Every structure is written in C-alpha cells, then in structure tokens.
Amino acid sequence: MKIIKYILPLFVLLAACDPLKHKEEPQTNGNLSYYDSIYVTADVQWHKNYYPNLDCEVFSIDLLSEGLSFDSTYHIQGNGLNLYISDIFLPDSTTTLQDGIYRMDTTAEAFTFLPYMYFEGNITGTYLLEVDNSSIKRHVGFISGEMTVENIGEEILLDIILRDSTSHYHATYQGPILYR
C-alpha cells in the first residue's frame, strides 16, 4: 500500500505532462541523417531526492557535440548539438549510471527515461537542441526509443524516434562521463 501512496502522485504528474501536448511542432528540416551524431562530452547530473515520494534515483544527461561546451554557470557555449535526456530512473541508492538497456516511457520504473513533453510551459524529457552562436536555433523532440549504457558508463548508444514516429535518430558517445 505504501508504494501506491507514493507512486500515484507521480503518475498524476506524468499524465498532466502528456508527451503529445505541445505548443509547437519540432522542426526536423526533413533531413534526419544530419542528426545521426557522435558526441564528445557526456555530462551527467544526479538529482538526489528529486521525487522524494518514490524509491528511485533520478539522473539526466547532456550529450554535447564537438564545438559545444558549458561555461562556469553551465550555460551552453558555441555551435553544435546538445542531446538532453531527463528523468532517467534507476533503483534507489544508485549514485551513478548503470550498465543496461533503458527504454523511454512515463512509468518511472528503473531503467526508463522520459519522452519529449511540455510541463508548466517548458520542454522536458528527451530532446535535441541545435545551438548556433550559443543560442538555441531549434529543438527536436523524441517520443520513443532506447538507450544502452555499456562498460560502466564509458559508452552510450541511443536509438530514439522522432515525434512523427517515422524516423530514427542514432547517437553515440564513447569516453569518460562527467558527473556533477
């Protein structure tokens, strides 16, 4: 009974964040091969006690392409692509990403992550930012897919699907993961 009492508020919250409700269509420019990317930086944030009513840990990942970096206040600088993956759920007491296959959905189960959605006027979930001269030129949202983490966080492979469900996006990262 305890788990129902704590998980129910999360499901209500996630239901309010319908991934198909949005204010604008993601722009894809009809050329997805441009977005099949290799990233050079993986910045992982551990959001300890982000959902205090759940027995889980929550992480997010910023993958940056060559030409992008964070300044001292974690604002994106430069030109390139930033793939952001938020609310990655892992078992309670986990302090780093774990090897495994993660799937995109809204259940908040271990080894899942959220799809693209609007919440309280902001985009969240899994989306790609195209950054030009340190400004966001456009964003593209993803609604389903998987992420594989291998070799204790040294490699991340993604196969995620765009909002229109017709095109796949493939992303890879190999190297050390920065935790903050």
Return the residue matching tokens 């001269």: 133
Q: Give the closest residue to 171 by CA, choosing from 69, 40, 25, 27.
A: 40
Please state, as a whole number, how many other Cβ atoms lie within 10 Å of the Cβ of residue 114: 25
Model confidence band, residue 60 (pLDDT cutoffs 50, 70, 90): very high
Give the tens place of pLDDT for each residue, 67-77.
Answer: 999 999 989 99
DSSP state of 34: G
Adjacent-strand bridge partners of 160? 145, 169
> What is the spatial distance between Cα 180 and Cα 48, in angstroms, rounded to a whole number?
11
What is this structure's pTM?
0.79
Give the tens place of pLDDT for each residue, 89-136.
Answer: 999 989 999 999 999 999 999 999 999 998 889 999 999 999 999 999
Model confidence band, residue 164 (pLDDT cutoffs 50, 70, 90): low
